[in-house]
Structure 1
Amino acid sequence: MSKLISVIFLAVIAMNVSAKEIILNGDLLDSQSFRGRIFKVIITEQNEEIELVNEYFEAQSCEDGQFALKQQGLGKYKLEAVLNCKNWVDEPRQLKVCPEIFAPVCGAVSGIDGEAYISFPNSCELYRAKAIYVNEGRCE
């Protein structure tokens, strides 16, 4: 039994050591795929794209910043902090037109009366409304 506990303890330590913090410079932007959930990405100074597990509403977009990330698994990273930012950007506000694609999604919108669920024609419209993705298809 003590051998099993030792193995589990070593595995937990190994996971914590491997989840080291990474500091990157670049732009923190919203993924423009507009399929389902909308996640953040970092475009590094070397023009590499790092996909994050964070959804777009978890952090405001930033041009020319420094970011702290933690690896969440093979090729997956989580934004831990924006260490500095030269230019904050409200990307959903800047998006003027969405493609006329019908791929309904359900989103949650906060208001005076609490949270309301609204059906959007596609993820782009959900993004423009700054709603939080709930599920594919219409709201029930």
Structure 2
Amino acid sequence: MTDSFDPNNQEHQKIKAEIEIGDGLPDIRLTRQCLEALEQAGFEVIWEKDLAVDSPVPWYLPLDKNHFSLSSFRLTAIGRFVTKNMVKALEFVGLAPRGSQRVQDFLEKAAEGLVEGGRKEIFTPMYFFLARKPLAESQ
């Protein structure tokens, strides 16, 4: 989560929960908490940056169901509708395992959470850091 994430904002909490549940993640931390954890573990942070900040194209665009693209048709609103109904039909006739539709539903919720998190700039999948553990001095 970026520094724009407000833990007291219910909408932010909902978006975070959708991302965590749909992507099978534990409690997502703020980027600054990641840096603090590195330093507490004895690492020296050499470089860190959220590459999404300077990206000319929003990272979440391929997941945005309102963005039409032939290469990612299955992620558009129409593509998701077709996929949802195909999974439902396949599960009904027994070609897909029971529960497939439920899994598809929460994966779609995750995509929606990722898009909203990106739009509101409260979540980034593009936070990178370079850290090193200094050599211990010999005694």
Q: Is the structural similarity TM-score above 0.5? A: no
Higher helix share: 2
* TM-score normalised per structure 1: 0.19
Which has a greater percent of strand?
1
